[in-house]
Structure 1
Amino acid sequence: MKRLVFLPLLLIFGLHNLLVAREQQGRLTLNDTLEVNYSLIHREEFNDLDHWKAEQQPGGTVVLNGGRLEIEDKAGCTVWFDKQLHQPVMIEFTATVIDEGGPQDRVSDLNCFWLATDPWHTNFFGDAHPHRAGKFSQYDSLKLYYVGLGGHNNTKTRFRRYSGDGQKPLLPAHDLSDEAYLIVPNVPNRIRIIVFTTTIQYWRNEQLIFNVYDASPYDSGYFAFRTVNNHLFIDDFNVYELSKMDVP
């Protein structure tokens, strides 16, 4: 009897280890001609906020809640991951926009910045920090990539490349309004962001929403969750380094 119980437990334990290993490293196809290796370099359990810096307008909160990051915002919030990232890189996280009748439960603005740098301040979190307090326009002077998922009251999903001089052009191909690209409330969104040399990709639940070629890509910078006047839960935040697969 003990033997019959023991063997399945071994199998379950082995399968669990295999799944964990696959999460930590593996292969990923970016397009028809490019396949890459990925390897985990950071996993965030949200047991504390040691690696996170919140810039938020009055009236909102950024707290830990059961192993998740909970953002309730009134007038603008940016939550930075404090480790500088270098491409090629992949960032993944799960985010849920809450709509349960709360005061900030507005279905809109599941947004993020990545590979952000400040050309006007040497220390991104030092001398630059007092100039940023969660108001969206305060980030116009940065160099970064941005996606606003379900912005404008969940009517638009947009990709922009901020150039560091206030310019953040919006190309027609990067301005989406089809329902397939908008937010479904109370449903987890698994977001995957990839920067591999000149290829920038943004995925949601295995749906490739943006596949952008950038002839002058950003090489390094910081990641942030960005939102305004809504209620989010975020968990399962992972960062991977990428490398091109060797051709046999």
Structure 2
Amino acid sequence: MLFINLSCTENKGNTGDRVIFQEDFSSELDPNLWVIEMDNQPNSSVRVEDGKLVLDTKGGVTVWLNRELDGDFEITYERTVVMDDGPNDRLSDLNQFWLANDPNIENLFTRSGVFEEYDDLEMYYVGFGGNYNSSTRFRKYKGEGEKPVLQEYDEAPYLLAANKTYRIKTVREGGKVSFWVDDRLFFEYEDPHPIPSGYFGFRSTWSRHEIDYIKITRL
């Protein structure tokens, strides 16, 4: 696990981009870096296992990175929906929140993991393979209970395959946000009222997911 604080150092690539955070899940989650909100359901856990973050839950779960993001950035990670003989194995809900804020209280991390409890946040959301893998949706939550679907798919290749490792990329450039899967553009949105800053969270419900790493780069 590695956290890079830009006030101290920079890790620049060939293009001048800077890695501001990366985590390989080689050790237990640092509670100062990760906040788990998980519905109280049986046979549910969030754990690190064999170098992967595992979300294995009967109900809803959000794992927040406790670092506020602003400016232009790119988030990449690898993620697999596991289908075997586990009690929670279900091909559904490779989801995420990003640039999340609570307009009503300063502390974002006050919820139990139940999906409806997030309705009053301001943020972007992708539900990849939601509703039993029947739809993939992009929403903007407006902080007042409104969360309109801005774009949606209901056919392959925009639905999940079992036990396939996906490379997920999320980009924020100015007022534009985009979501990519294996270098395929799923969603792109030029927001007339961009969210200036907020938090990223892995999101899912009733399924088992393995996340292999995460890297955030300043563009």
TM-score, normalisation: structure 2:
0.90
Q: In structure 2, what is the Cα distance between the partners aligned to 1:153 and 1:212?
A: 25
Instruction: Identify which of 47, 70, 75 aligns with 1:86.
Output: 70
Equivalent residue number for residue 13 of structure 2: 25
Q: Distance in 1 between matches of 2:191 and 2:73?
A: 15
Moved over 4 A (4+): none
The CA deviation at 1:215 is 1.2
What is the CA–CA distance in structure 1 between the aligned matches of 2:142 and 2:162, rounded to whole Å? Answer: 32
Equivalents in 2 of 1:229, 1:78: separation in Å? 12
Q: Which has the larger radius of gyration?
A: 1
Structure with greater proportional strand content = 2
Matched residue type, 2:209: L
Aligned partner of 1:179 in structure 2 is: 156
> Which consecutive unaligned segments of at least 5 residues does structure 2 have?
1-10
Show the counterpart of 2:82: 98
Q: 2:28 aligns with which of 48, 51, 66?
A: 48
User: Gaps spanning 5+ residues in structure 1: where?
Assistant: 1-22, 28-36, 243-248
Structure 2 Cα separation of the partners of residues 26 and 205 of structure 1: 22
Counting aligned pairs with the same residue, the percent is 38
User: Helix, strand or coil: the match of 1:181?
Assistant: coil
CA 1:111 to 1:26, structure 2 compared with 1: closer, same or farther past 3 Å?
farther
Worse-superposed segment, 79-88 or 159-168: 79-88
Select the structure that is richer in helix.
1
Identify the residue that residue 134 of structure 2 maps to in structure 1: 155
Aligned residues, how many?
204
Aligned-CA RMSD value: 1.3
Per-residue CA deviation, residues 46-105 of structure 1 (Å, 9 max, x unaligned), is 122111111001221000101110110101111101111112111111000000121111
Partner of 1:234: 211
What SS does the corresponding residue of 1:193 show, helix, strand or coil? strand
Q: Which of 59, 78, 91 is the equivalent residue of 1:107?
A: 91
> CA contact under 8 A between 1:26 and 1:39: conserved in structure 2?
no
Aligned partners of 1:96 and 1:186 also within 8 Å: yes
Q: Secondary structure at 2:213's aligned position in 1?
A: strand
Code of the residue aligned with 2:38 in structure 1: it is Q
